[in-house]
Amino acid sequence: MVIAQSKRLRQKHSTGLNVVDPEVYDLINREHQRQEDKIELIASANFVSRAVLEATGSILTNKVAEGYPGRRYFSGCEYIDKLENLAIARAKELFGAAYANLEPYTGSQANHAVYLTVLKPGDRILGMDLSHGGHLSHGAKFNMTGKNYDCHFYQVDPDTERLNYDRILAQAKDVRPKLIIAGASAYPRTIDFQRFREIADEVGAYLLADVAHISGLIAAELHPNPINHAHFVTTSTQKTLRGPRSGMILLGEHSAPEFARKIDSAVFPGVQGAVHMHAIAAKAVMLKEAMSPSFATYQRQTLENTRVIAEDLVKKDFRLVSGGTDNHLILLDLSEKGITGKEAEELLASVGITVNKNMLPYDSQKPSVCGGIRIGTSAITTRGFTSEDMHCIADLIEKVLSGKPTAITLKTVQEEVSRLCRLHPHIDSIYGEGETN
Ligand code: DSN
């Protein structure tokens, strides 16, 4: 009787998702199809490789572990210790770091761990204004950073819409922050981390470089690396770096001796609990992939694709914030087109093009409406979209956002979106059968 019951339970445990939970199975399949059928232009999106996906969905999710390799609070860690050490070694090699912590669950958690390391409640932070390209975890008032710390914000120059380092220095002298944050979610230009460090040194502040959006470009040496300038470097890993949805903290040789142990304790037990070993394994795979020549080729193509779409849109009379781009994203100011970011997002979604409405520097719209949209090419470049395809996409964007598109125009655009997606099949071809040896 007891044996039969145990067998039944084991059988249930080994039954597939489609049988156990058809509702969830169906929704995953629909999302799968959505990813295949739409042109994904959200700048923080990407498609992981089959190998990264396999590691993310591996049996490592079963392993409980707290602490760090060789210093765990549970036994049975002989293999996962090796795995975490491997991931750490790869992160250090790829970014030229002296220390790497691969445990943060997300980029935001990584930032919170840095704050816990150097700040006390009420201390002053100087970060980039959210509506000028900054991030929620850099001090937004509705984020825990805004509640715990005294947050001040620098903005882009009103004329150039780029960072103006002299103005940031003047503001830093005024604010006297304990921590300056360099990094953004919607800034299309190169960030000068060395200059940021000079500013930090001049006012006696620590410097955090949050490279969430550009870490893939840094890995491919297509954007300056902050590792020898910033006291702390944080990143999420799912954007240009093309890894799992997770985070990472890096320290250079100059700051590791002072902060390595403190960051370890801030991540665990300070901010987080047990390690997500499946995510760490996936990050190890991501880092190996990012060391390959094909990754650098991919990042160069991403930059080229962004440049092409930016130039085409400018020729089509769209205004780009700062006039263009140096990285994987552009910000389109739609105020002169008589359409809001929200309306543009919805119109483009209706034809199968996925973007996000985005606040613009000095925006007159509310955050729920926004004056523009953000467009990034990381995901479609992974899918194999070429510069030629970028000309097509710019044409499609123009057709939808310039003037009032007719139902026939929208239908034609939708058909063209489908054609482009069929030309570059992704999900099935990457996650289907695959090579296993
Ligand atoms: N930080 C948000 C973005 O840039 O889209 C989500 O990762």
The residue whose C-alpha atom lies closest to atom 7 belonging to ligand 1 is 44
Question: Residue holding tokens 């250079």?
Answer: 252
Cα dist from 326 to 242, 289, 322, whole Å: 19, 23, 10
Bridge partner list, 127:
153
> Which residues are 182's β-sheet partners?
209
At 313, give phi and psi (nearest 5°).
-65, -35
The dihedral through the CA atoms of 134, 139, 140, 142 has a sign that is: positive
pLDDT tens readout for residues 99-138: 999 999 999 999 999 999 999 999 999 999 999 999 999 9
pLDDT on residue 141: 94
Question: What's the 87 CA to ligand 1 centre distance in angstroms?
Answer: 24
The answer to whether 33 and 250 have CB atoms below 8 angstroms apart is no
Q: Are 52 and 368 in contact (CB under 8 A)?
A: no
Model confidence pLDDT, tens digit, residues 233-286 = 999 999 999 999 999 999 999 999 999 999 999 999 999 999 999 999 999 999
Q: Residue 44 C-alpha to ligand 1 middle, in angstroms?
A: 5
What residues are in contact with ligand 1 under a 6 Å CB criterion? Answer: 44, 135, 185
Query: Distance (Å, rounded) from C-alpha 381 to C-alpha 83?
Result: 30
- Can you list the residues of the chain whose pLDDT is less than 50? none
- pLDDT at position 68 is 98
Ligand 1, atom 5: nearest CA belongs to which residue? 44
Rg, Å, the chain Cα set: 23
Give the ligand 1 atom nearest the CA of 238: 7
Model's pTM, two decimal places? 0.96
Residue 135 CA: nearest ligand 1 atom is: 1
User: Which ligand 1 atom minimizes the distance to the CA of 236?
Assistant: 7
> Looking at residue 364, what is its pLDDT?
95
Tokens of 304: 């080229």
Ligand 1 atom with minimal separation from the 239 CA = 7
Say how far apart CA 31 and CA 141 lie, in whole Å: 33
User: What whole-number distance in Å separates Cα of residue 181 and Cα of residue 173?
Assistant: 15
pLDDT of residue 343: 98
